[in-house]
Amino acid sequence: MAKTGYNTGGKNAVLDFFRSHRDRQFTADDVINALEEKCRATGEKLPGKSSVYRIISKFEEMGALRCFFDSETSKRLYQYAGEHCDDHFHLKCSECGQVVHLECKIGDQLLRHISSDHGFSVSAGKSILLGECEKCRKKRENT
């Protein structure tokens, strides 16, 4: 990963948090709350709100984080950017927020078809397929 600037506690804390929850997306506020909890436990220094926003922006710029949007709350959502996430689609459960990587041939086929037949070059990494995961569907059907 391209690295710029200084290596500080705030940056490390934020990146650690995203790295240890790679299959989820978080708002800036989620991150702040999570860090608050962690720092309360460990006694580490808590980065200020604006710093977290700035750190997140920097990571996004560097490509370490990916930015999406929550259609319910209209807040920005961020997720750790895996190595090859540009190549494939991502399924997101609207209910629990889990994100699944769709690393399948048929995804590639769709991309090629869209490119050749519709003249559209889709950025799979930026495209989220929203739906409901199996777990949440079962939970919903059993109530």
Partner DNA sequence: TTGCGTGCAAAGGTTTTGCATGGCA
Partner DNA sequence: TGCCATGCAAAACCTTTGCACGCAA
Binding residues for a copy of itself (CB under 8 A):
67-69, 71, 74, 76, 91, 93-94, 100, 102, 104, 106-107, 109-110, 113-114, 117-124, 126-134, 137
Backbone angles phi, psi at 125, to 5 degrees: -65, -25
| Nearest partner of 10 among 63, 64, 43, 46, judged by Cα | 46
SS3 assignment, position 133: coil
Determine the residue type at 95: E
Q: What, of a copy of itself, DNA, none, does residue 40 touch, CB below 5 to 8 Å by kind?
A: none
User: What does the alpha-carbon distance between residue 113 and residue 122 come to, in Å, rounded to a whole number?
Assistant: 10
Among 1, 2, 5, 105, indicate the residue that binds DNA (CB under 7 A).
5
Q: What, of a copy of itself, DNA, none, does residue 65 touch, CB below 5 to 8 Å by kind?
A: none
User: What does the alpha-carbon distance between residue 102 and residue 107 come to, in Å, rounded to a whole number?
Assistant: 7
Q: What, of a copy of itself, DNA, none, does residue 119 touch, CB below 5 to 8 Å by kind?
A: a copy of itself
| Nearest partner of 79 among 87, 71, 70, judged by Cα | 70
**Enclosing H/E stretch for 101:** strand 99-102
Binders of DNA among 21-80, rule CB under 7 A? 27-29, 45-51, 53-55, 57-58, 74-76
**Enclosing H/E stretch for 15:** helix 9-19
Minimum distance, C-beta of residue 9 to a copy of itself, in the bound complex (Å) = 28
Binders of DNA among 78-137, rule CB under 7 A? none
Minimum distance, C-beta of residue 89 to a copy of itself, in the bound complex (Å) = 8
Minimum distance, C-beta of residue 118 to DNA, in the bound complex (Å) = 29
